[in-house]
Amino acid sequence: MNTKIIKINENEIDDELLKEAGNIIKAGGLVAFPTETVYGLGGDAFNKESSLKIYTAKGRPSDNPLIVHISKIEDITKLSDDIPDVAYDVFEAFWPGPLTVILNKHPLVPDETTGGLNTVAVRFPSNKIAQKLIEASGGFIAAPSANLSGRPSPTVAKYVVEDLNGRVDMIIDGGDSDIGLESTIIDLTSTVPVILRPGYVTEQDLEKVLNKVDIDKTIIDNNSSLKPKAPGMKYRHYAPKGDLTIVHGENDKVVDYINDRLSEAKNKNLKTGVLATKENTLKYKADLVKNIGARDDAKEIAKNLFRALREFDDDDIQVIYAEGFENKGLSMATMNRLLKAAGHKEVNL
Ligand code: TXA
Ligand code: MG
């Protein structure tokens, strides 16, 4: 398949180009597009063939449901006929933005889009290119992250092209993603809403609107006998090609420990990398040290994580160490992705 790659500036959107992209989706094709979280791989959510094509293009298991993206709150009634009042408080507070809600699905939403579940995931993104594309394509875009299954989600168009060139009809390059981690997912079908995937919108943010919020236990403790409620959370994800280990502990000990492991790896002629906070960047003796932001800047760290993981691959790094972060607030989302990328390999000093 020939993939058309176009560039659009979010501040100066070319409506003609978006019309062309929208028509591709209306006709059953696939378009990768920017959102404020990560790039998405979009198809018409009401066309079951389109959803099947998305699974094929990504190499993704078809029991892993897609998020439906809308550009107007009122369109939610086409996706669910069972919307609790509290959902509207959530929309008011967080939409458009990086939050996905799970609701009971409307019978007309194809099973192919929801992976056979009787619930549907819905998000109203704030990125203007995404909003205009949704409008131009008829209002409902099913879109997972625009990476091949298992790879880190793309936050720059270059990595969308690397994964999907030749597998989709069009890729829209809209610049770097602002947030860099996928949306928070909250299940509103249970009496007490449950966070199924941590993200930029934190538990504390949600508690301001919902009286009580639970967190899916599989996010916090890695007990493999528990089954996550978001099917996609069970898969190994985001993994760089190199062997990644996370190191927690007092700062100087972490630096010393990592440097010792790096020299061992170098003795074996392995190419080494470190995912480091800004404060420590100059202390590591590795082939590639990626600065992902100052330790107290959780937003910057979240934004840079996926890109840094990809950059280790660009340099064929074989052994990677990452500094650990606290499991709370926005850092909970970062740690959730980092742990998956490392296949839960961590060291506590
Ligand atoms: O920020 C985002 O959410 C990005 C952008 C493109 O919007 N999308 C994204 O999609 O991260 P994806 O497919 O990579 O992740 C969707 C997650 C998966 O873990 C999936 O299992 C879960 O959402 N999910 C989708 N529908 C669900 C449902 N009905 N019930 C529970 N989990 C669901
Ligand atoms: Mg994904």
The predicted model gives 57-64 an average pLDDT of 86
Q: Which atom of ligand 1 is nearest to the CA of 181?
A: 1
Residue 131's pLDDT band (boundaries 50, 70, 90)? very high
Residue 293 or residue 232, greater confidence: 293
Helix axes 15-26, 128-136, angle to 10 degrees: 50
Cα–ligand 1 centroid distance for 271 (angstroms)? 34
Q: Do the beta carbons of residue 262 and residue 274 sit within 8 Å?
A: yes
Q: pLDDT at residue 124 above 80?
A: yes
Determine if ligand 1 sits within 6 Å of the CB of residue 35: yes
- The per-residue pLDDT for 230 is 78
What are the pLDDT digits (tens) for 261-301? Answer: 999 999 999 999 999 999 999 999 999 999 999 999 999 99
Distance CA 127, CA 183 (A): 13
Q: How far apart are CA 301 and CA 294, in angstroms?
A: 7
Does 317 contact ligand 1 (Cβ within 6 A)? no
- DSSP class per residue in 245-293: EEEES-HHHHHHHHHHHHHHHHHTT--EEEEE-GGGGGG--SSEEEE--
Determine the 3-state secondary structure of 294 from DSSP. Answer: coil
The reply to whether omega before 96 is within 30° of 0 (cis) is yes
DSSP 221-234: S--TTS--SSGGGG
Distances in Å between the Cα of 324 and the Cα atoms of 81, 258, 269, 290 are 43, 12, 26, 14
DSSP state of 69: E
Instruction: Give the closest ligand to the alpha carbon of residue 69.
Output: 1
The answer, yes or no, to whether any atom of ligand 1 lies below 6 A from the CB of 245, is no
CA of 231 to the centre of ligand 1 (A): 9
As a whole number of Å, the end-to-end CA separation of the chain is 50
Helical residues (DSSP H) of the chain, grouped into ranges = 15-26, 48-58, 85-94, 128-136, 157-164, 203-207, 217-220, 251-267, 298-314, 330-341
Per-residue confidence (pLDDT) for residue 221, from 0 to 100: 66
Pocket perturbation via mutation, ligand 1, pick of 184, 185, 186, 227 by most ligand atoms within 8 A of CB = 185
Q: Which ligand is nearest to the CA of 148?
A: 2
Per-residue pLDDT tens over the stretch 319-332:
999 999 998 899 99
Residue 40, ligand 1, Cβ within 6 A: yes
Percent of the chain scoring above 90 in pLDDT: 89
93: exposed, middle or buried (C-beta count within 10 Å: 0-12, 13-18, 19+)? middle
Residue 102, both tokens: 């799970």
Measured over the CA atoms of residue 73, residue 78, residue 80 and residue 85, the dihedral's sign is positive
Query: Which ligand sits nearest to residue 155's alpha carbon?
Result: 1
CA distance 87 to 103: 9
What is the 153 CA–ligand 2 centroid distance (Å)? 6
**Number of the ligand closest to the Cα of 149:** 2
Give the pLDDT score at 238.
79
The number of the ligand 1 atom at minimal distance from the alpha carbon of 60 is 13
Distance 66 CA to ligand 1 centre (A): 5
Q: Decide: 182 in ligand 1 pocket, CB within 6 A.
A: yes
Q: Is the CB of 233 under 6 A from ligand 1?
A: yes
pLDDT grade for 150, boundaries at 50, 70 and 90: confident
Distance CA 140, CA 76 (A): 10
Answer whether 144 contacts ligand 1 (Cβ < 6 A): yes
CB of 189 closer than 6 A to ligand 1? no
Taking 90 as the threshold, does the pLDDT of residue 217 lie above it?
A: no
- Overall average pLDDT of the 50-57 stretch: 97
Q: 184 CB less than 6 Å from ligand 1?
A: no
Name the pLDDT band for 206 (thresholds 50, 70, 90): very high
The contacts found for 201-205 with CB under 8 angstroms, 24 or more apart, are 201/94, 201/97, 201/98, 201/99, 202/329, 202/330, 202/332, 202/333, 203/332, 204/329, 205/94
Which residue CA neighbors atom 17 of ligand 1 most closely? 232
Locate the ligand 1 atom nearest the alpha carbon of residue 117 and give its number: 29
Report helix angle 330-341 to 298-314, nearest 10: 20
CA–CA dist 257, 274 (Å, integer)? 12
Which residue's CA is the nearest one to ligand 1's atom 3?
Answer: 183
| 262 vs 269: CA distance, rounded Å | 10
Rounded distance, CA 6 to CA 17, Å? Answer: 8
Q: Report whether residue 13 contacts ligand 1, using a CB cutoff of 6 Å.
A: no
The reported pLDDT for the residue numbered 290 is 98
Q: Averaged over 164-178, what is the pLDDT?
A: 98
Closest residue to atom 33 of ligand 1, CA basis = 230
Give the span between the Cα atoms of 161 and 168, in whole angstroms.
10
